[in-house]
Structure 1
Amino acid sequence: MNKIKYYILLLFIVALPALQTGCTKVLDKPDLDAISEGKVWSDINLATAFLNRLYTDAMPSWARNSSSPEAINASNASSESDESGGADDMMYGQMTINSVDIWHYETLRSINLLLKRVPAAPFTQADKNNLIGQALFLRAWLYWQMVSLYGGVPLILEPQELNGDLNVPRSKTSECIARITKDLDDAAPLLPNIWSDEEVGRITKGAAMALKGRVLLHYASEQFSPAQNADRWLQALQANKAALDTLVKSGKALMPDFGGLWFVEGNANTEAVMITRFNNPGRTHSRDAAVRPLDEASNYTGGDQPTLDLVNAFPMKNGLPITAPGSGYNAQAYWLNRDPRFAATIAWNGVLWQLSGKSGRIQWNFAGSISSGSTATGFYCRKAVNETYKRAETEISGTDWIEIRLAEVMMNYAEAANETGNTAAAYEVLKAIRKRAGIDAGGNELYGLTSGLDKSGMRTAILLERRLEFAFEGKRGKDLRRRRLYGQLNGTKRKGLRITLTGFGGDKNAFYTAYAAGSVNLNTQYNQYFNEQVIDVDLLNVINFRDNYYFAAIPRTHLEKNPKLQQTNGWDGGTFDPLQ
C-alpha cells in the first residue's frame, strides 16, 4: 500500500480501538472522533484501515528493545545469543516467572472481530478474500510468537464479550500448532502471489506458506520434539518445499548483493518475503542509531556489537574455516580474504566505513579513539546500516525490516531435507547461498564445504551457515532454542577485543597523520601499531542457560487474571506440559 496513504488511514483509524456504536452529535454534525462499528464494516476503506492498524500492532521490527511499539512482537535481540554481548537474565540463568511477557490477546480480539464481520460485509468477494487472508496470517503469526515461547496457550478464535467466559485454559501445544498451520493453509489461497509496489508489505500467498514452513521446522526441532519425531520432519520438508516452489514461481530469487539487499524496496527486492515497512517521513525506527558508533549516532548506541566468536566463525573467501590447513588465514590481518559477508556484517578497527556519506572515513575501534567508547567487543555491526544517513537522521530510519527472506526458506528446506535423509539437497542449497555470498567455488565446486558429510555433519554445517547468513536478523537465538543448543554455551563467556594503539608511542594524532599520509599499511603492518587483547564481554557472569528456559513461565499477572491457566512445567510447581 502507498506509504503516505497507509499513514493517513492509520491516523484516521486510531480512534477505533473500542469500536463502539453511538456517535454523539454536536450541532447535528457527526462526531469526527468516533466512527461506528457499522460504518467500519460497510466501508472497504475503513475496513482496510482497521486491517492496517492490525499490521502495525502485530508485525515485528528491528529489535525487542526498540522504541517502536511493534518491536515487542518478536524477540530479535542479538544479546540472547552468542553473536553479541549484553546483559540478559536468560543467558545468565536469572529468569523469573515474569521475565517473558508476550501476550497478544488484545490484538487477537481485533483480528477475530475482523474475521467475524467481514464475511457479511457488502464488499466484493475479492476484497473479502484479501482482508480475511491477511487477518488469518496475522492471527497465526501472533499465536506462533506465544507458542514458540510458552508452548500451548489459550486458543481464542472469536471476539470475546464482557458477558462471556473470559477465563480460557491453555490448549495443548499440538492443538495450537494445528490451528496455526490451518490458519496459514486457509490464508494462502485467499492471497495474491504478488502485490503492486504500492502495496508491498502486505502478506502474500508465498509468505503464508513460508511461515508455515518455519513453524513446522521449529515444531520438528528438539525444543518441541526432544525424541525427534520423524513425521514432523517430513511435514516440515513438504511445507518448506511447497513454499519455496511457490515463491520461485512468483519471481522470488536471491538478491545478487548480500550487503545491499536491505536497501532495495518494493518488488525490486526479489528476496524479501515478509517485511515490515518503514518510511521517513512517516513510520520510522532508531536501529541505525542504536548500532552505529556514538560519534555517528543520535541518542542511541551500543546495539548489536559482534562478538569475537562471531567474527571468527566467518570462513575465508575460499570457504574454508580460518582454522583449516591451507585456509590462508592471516591472524595479523584477519579481515583479508574472508567470506564477503564478513565485511558486510562486521566493522573492525581500520575498516573503510563511510558513515554519514563521509568519503574516505575510517572506523577506529582502538581505546581512546573518537568512536571506541561505545563498543564493548571491539567491533560494530554493519549489516543493514544505511551509510548515507547523516547523524541526525539515524534515529528516524526508514529501512524496512525483513522478517523472512528467500534465503531462510531455502535454508529451512535444506535442514528438513537433511533430517529426512536427503543430504544431497542440503548441499545444493548451501552451495547456492555461498555462491551468492561471493565465496569461491573451488575445484570441486563445493564452495569450501566438506565433501561427504553425513546427516550430523550437514546439520552442523547448516547451523553455521544460518549463523553467518542471518547474523543480527533475530535468528540465532531462535536456532539455539529450537535445537536445544544453549547448553553448549554454558560455563563460557562471550569474548571481544580490547585494542590499544602502541605505534607512535600511543599518540593517536600522530598515528592519524601518518595514516592519512599513506605511510601506514594495516594489511601488512597492523601488529606494529596495535595490540589486541582478548577480553570477556560477560564481566560478572558466565552463561548459565537453564533447561526449563526452553519454555517460559506464564507471568503472574496473567495467572491472577485467569485462574484456569496452568503454569508451565519447571516453573513454580507448574503442571502444564508444553510437549503435549
Structure 2
Amino acid sequence: MKLKIITFGLALLSMASCKKILDPEPENLKTLDQMYNDANFAQGFLMNAYRTIPTYYDNSDYATDDAVTNLLNNTYLQIATGSWTASNNPTSVWNQSYEGTQYINLFLENSNKVKWAADPEASKLFNLRMRGEAFGLRALYLYFLLRNHGGIASNGQLTGVPILTEYQSGQANYNIPRASFDACVKQIHKDLDSAELYLPVEYNDIATGVAVPDRFKPYTQNRETYNRVMGQTARLLFNGLIAKAFRARVALLAASPAFQNSSNTTTWANAADYAGAVIDYKGGVNGLPANGWTYFTNTAEIDAVGSGVNPPEMLWRENIVTNDGTQEGLHFPPTLFGSGNMNPTQNLVDAFPMANGYPINHVSANYNAAAPYANRDPRFARYIIYDGSTAGVSNAVIRTGSLSGTDNGINTRSTSTRTGYYMKKRLRMDVNRNPNSLTGKNHYNPRIRYTEMYLDYAEAANEAYGPSGTGTRSYSAYDVIKAIRKRSLNLNTDPYLEECRADQVKMRELIRNERRIELCFESFRFWDLRRWKVDLPKLNEITRGLDVNAGVYTPFNVETRNYQSYMYYGPIPNSEVLKYNQLIQNQGWR
C-alpha cells in the first residue's frame, strides 16, 4: 500500500526510530515530543486530515448519462469512453484517504499526551472533542475508500479495503490484505460510535452551566469552558450529526444491490433507520427545507451566512468563499465569459417530469415534442440552461442551436456546448465574468445536504417496507417523496405519485428519478448507477443532445459510453497491487 511519509509544515513525520523524527534535527524541524506542549502543532495533524476530504463537486457527472464535457482531455470523459484502467483512475481516493488516515492515527496515538490548554478542564474537553473529530474523519475516509475501491475481488469474494487503525511507520509491514466488505462497514460504525460519544450533536453556545450536556459534565460544568471548546466557534468541524449522516451513507451503500451478499450483514431496514435518525433530528418530513432545492441560488441567504452557521439545507458545508466566480468561469456559456464545461444531456432533460408531475412519456403528461420546454417541472429551468432561457446578470437570452450565430451554439467553439445545454445549477446568476466589470459573489460548497438524507430514507424504506410502510419511523417513503416533489412542483394533488404508491417497483423508479433530479451535477450519479447495479446497457446509454434551429428540434447522439461488466466496482491502484502480493485486485481490472 502506498502510504506516503507525512509532511506537516517543515516537519517530516517518519516514525522510523523512537520519537525523533529526523536525525540530525535542524532547528526548523519539529519532533513528535514537541507536539505534547504545542497544541497548535498537534492540532495541525487533524487539520491536515480535513484538507484532503474528497471534494463534493468532483464532476464525475461527465462520465454518466447526465452530462458530457467540452474538455476533450478530461479524465472522466476518457474513462467513460474506454480508457478506465487500474492505472488511469480519476475516481481513486486511495492515496489521499490513507494519507489522511495516517495523520489521524498518529494524532489518536498521541493526543492524550498533549497539553491542550492551561485550564485542566478545557484541556480534557479539547482532547475529547478532537479525538471525536479524528474518529469521525477516519470513518469518513474508510467510507470513501469502500465506495470507490470495494467490490468483488479476483477471488470472487465481496471485499473491502485494508483497515488501518494504527500509524504505519517507515518500518511497518505495508503488505496488508484487504478486509472483508462487512468488516469495513463494521469498522466505520465503530469509529462513528466513538465520534458520537465524544462530540455534541452540533456546536452551539449554552447560556448557563446547567445546560452542559450530561455526558460532558464529568469534564466541566462551567459555561465558559464548554462554550470555548464545544460552542459555536467549532462549527464546520466534524460533529455528532455528521456522524449520523455518514452512518446513513455507508448503510445505503452496503444495502444496495451491488453489495448484497451473504457475507454482508447490512439491510435496507438498517439504512432506513439511520437516515430516519437524521430526519427526526431535522423535524421529520415537515422539516425538509422548503428552499433546499435552490440552495445554490438562495442569494440573500448565502450572503447572510456567517459565524459557521449552516443554511437550513446544509447539514455540513465548507467555508464561505467571498468575491468568488470560479464555478461561473468554468461553467457559464461563452457569451457570459464562461468555459461551458458541464453540458447536461437530453437524457437528463427527459428525466424531468411535466409540471403536473407525470413523466414526459406518460399518457397523462400532455408533453408536446414541438414545445419540449413548456410546462415542465420548475427544477428544469433552475438547473439547466436551454435554448431560449435567460442567464447572467443581464438575463441574456441564450441560443444554443448550431445555426444560432452565437458562440453558445453547439460545437461553435471549444467552450461551447456539445449537447445544446449548459449547467445552471451550482451557479449564481449575479456573478459577472466580463473582464471589464468582473464581480464575484459569496459561495460555499456543500459536504452533506439534508435532501440527500431524505432521499436516502425514501430509497431504503421503500426497499425494506414498500411505498407506505414506516418501519421504526412515523413516515414512509411515499411521505418523503411527496414532500420533496411538493416543494418544487407545488401540486395540491400528485396523481402520478398516487399511481406509484401501490407499486413498489414503480415507486423505486420514481425515487431513483427524484434522486437523479435533486442531486444532479453533485457527483452522485456515477456511484448511484453502480451501487444499483443497473443493466450494462443503461450504464452504456448513449448521451444525447438537442439542436434547436428556427423552431425545429433535432435530436442527435453525442457520446458513446464504453463500460465493461466489471466496472460496477472501481479498481485498486495497479501500482499498489504490483508492490504488495497480499493486495488482491477487483475482478477484471488490469
Please give the TM-score of this superposition, normalised by the length of structure 1.
0.79
Match of 2:458 among 398, 414, 419: 414
Identify if the C-alpha distance between structure 1 residues 447 and 23 changes in structure 2 by more than 3 Å, giving closer, same or farther: farther
Compare 16-25 and 542-551 and name the one that shifted more: 16-25
Instruction: Return the offset for 1:233.
Output: 1.5
Check conservation: 2:431, 2:440, Cα contact below 8 A: no
Check conservation: 1:92, 1:543, Cα contact below 8 A: yes
Check conservation: 2:48, 2:103, Cα contact below 8 A: no
Residue type of the partner of 1:96? T
Residue type of the partner of 2:328? D
- Asked if residue 352 in structure 1 is aligned to residue 390 in structure 2, the reply is yes
- 1:504-519 pair list within 5 angstroms: none
Separation in 1, partners of 2:243, 2:325: 25
Structure 1 residue runs of 5 or longer lacking an equivalent are 1-11, 64-75, 503-526, 573-580
Compare 261-270 and 106-115 and name the one that shifted more: 261-270
Check conservation: 2:163, 2:178, Cα contact below 8 A: yes
Instruction: Return the offset for 1:346.
Output: 0.7
Match of 1:194 among 174, 197, 202: 202
Cα deviation, 1:100-149, whole Å, max 9, x if unaligned, reads: 24312222111111111112323323212221122112211112212112
Residue type of the partner of 1:272? M
Corresponding residue for 2:214? none
Corresponding residue for 1:294? 334
Identify if the C-alpha distance between structure 1 residues 333 and 199 changes in structure 2 by more than 3 Å, giving closer, same or farther: farther
- 1:197-346 pair list within 5 angstroms: 199-225=234-260, 232-248=267-283, 253-256=288-291, 258-261=293-296, 263=298, 264=302, 265=305, 266-280=308-322, 286-297=326-337, 301-346=339-384
- Asked if residue 77 in structure 1 is aligned to residue 119 in structure 2, the reply is no
Separation in 1, partners of 2:375, 2:162: 52
Please give the TM-score of this superposition, normalised by the length of structure 2.
0.78
Separation in 1, partners of 2:441, 2:8: 24
Separation in 2, partners of 1:53, 1:262: 31
Check conservation: 1:484, 1:550, Cα contact below 8 A: yes
Residue type of the partner of 1:474? S
Identify if the C-alpha distance between structure 1 residues 490 and 179 changes in structure 2 by more than 3 Å, giving closer, same or farther: closer
SS at match of 2:312: coil
- Asked if residue 53 in structure 1 is aligned to residue 45 in structure 2, the reply is no
Structure 2 residue runs of 5 or longer lacking an equivalent are 1-6, 15-19, 70-75, 117-122, 151-159, 205-231, 469-475
Identity of aligned residues (%): 27
Instruction: Return the offset for 1:469.
Output: 0.7
Match of 1:371 among 392, 408, 411: 408
Instruction: Return the offset for 1:405.
Output: 0.9
Identify if the C-alpha distance between structure 1 residues 85 and 45 changes in structure 2 by more than 3 Å, giving closer, same or farther: same
Separation in 2, partners of 1:57, 1:229: 29
Instruction: Return the offset for 1:460.
Output: 0.9
Check conservation: 2:21, 2:31, Cα contact below 8 A: yes
Match of 1:116 among 109, 112, 124: 109
Compare 260-269 and 454-463 and name the one that shifted more: 260-269
Corresponding residue for 1:136? 135
Match of 1:450 among 472, 484, 499: 499
- Asked if residue 568 in structure 1 is aligned to residue 586 in structure 2, the reply is yes
Instruction: Return the offset for 1:554.
Output: 2.0
Corresponding residue for 2:562? 544
Corresponding residue for 1:390? 432
Match of 1:162 among 145, 159, 170: 170
Identify if the C-alpha distance between structure 1 residues 253 and 40 changes in structure 2 by more than 3 Å, giving closer, same or farther: farther
Match of 1:472 among 508, 521, 524: 521
Separation in 2, partners of 1:227, 1:456: 23
Instruction: Return the offset for 1:228.
Output: 11
What CA RMSD, in Å, does the superposition of the two structures yield over aligned residues?
3.0
